Structure formats: structure tokens, C-alpha cells
Amino acid sequence: MSDKTLNTVTWEIHETHPELVDTMREELSKVVDPEIGMNVLQLGLIRQVSIEDDKTKVYMILTTPFCPYAPAMIEATKNAAQKAVTQPALVELGMEAWDFSMMEDPSALDWGMYS
């Protein structure tokens, strides 16, 4: 890893349920974009996680609006969130444009796929 700093997104649960952050990150890190081979956290696709009453809400974006794996990634994200907090989860898909600056670890670009 290079000397660049990590661009970790701070979610609402960091403040409201800090005891769940590590478990949530562990489960979400298992959801991999099959085209890129990196998980949704590395890519910075999970923009917000909150817990309201008895439901977990995950706000995520995709690397491209035409991602052929979108349905499978959204379902896997929902299942991972549910497993992490053992309650129902809802994934809201945002329409913001993704770019490389959203990645947690910008040094991941060092693998040479992008210039």
C-alpha cells in the first residue's frame, strides 16, 4: 500500500451504533463487484448506513449506471447488512456519479488498470 491516506466514509451508525461498525464493514467487504474484483467498501460504493427503528438502511451507488451486475450487488449488499445487524435491511440506490476519488484506498489504482 502506498503512503496515501484512506478515504473511509463515515456513516450515521458511527455515531448512533458504533458497536456495529466493524461487523457491518466485515460483512459488506464480502460483496465484490465481479467486473472490477474489488469490494463495495474499497470502491466507496456504500455512502451511508443508518438504523431507524427496526430497519437498517444502506445508501449505495454503482460505478456505472449501466452496471450489469447491479441487481446481484444490491441483493448481496442487503443480505450482508441484514447479517451484520440481524434485522431487515433496505438498500437505496443513489444516482450520483461514482469516480475514483470515492475509493477507500486510492493506492488501489496502482494496479495499473486505470491511468
State yes or no: pLDDT of 3 exceeds 50. no
Provide the pLDDT for residue 110.
63
Provide the pLDDT for residue 5.
60
- Cβ-contact 101, 7 below 8 angstroms: yes
pLDDT in tens, 27-47: 999 999 998 889 999 999 999
Provide the pLDDT for residue 107.
67
Domain positions in the chain: 13-109
Place of cell 447488512: 81
Provide the pLDDT for residue 2.
41
Just give the CATH number of 13-109: 3.30.300.130
Instruction: Please state the pTM of the whole predicted model.
Output: 0.87
Place of cell 443513489: 94
- 3-class DSSP state of 80: helix
Q: Between 95 and 106, whose confidence is greater?
A: 95
DSSP lists the bridge partners of residue 49 as 58
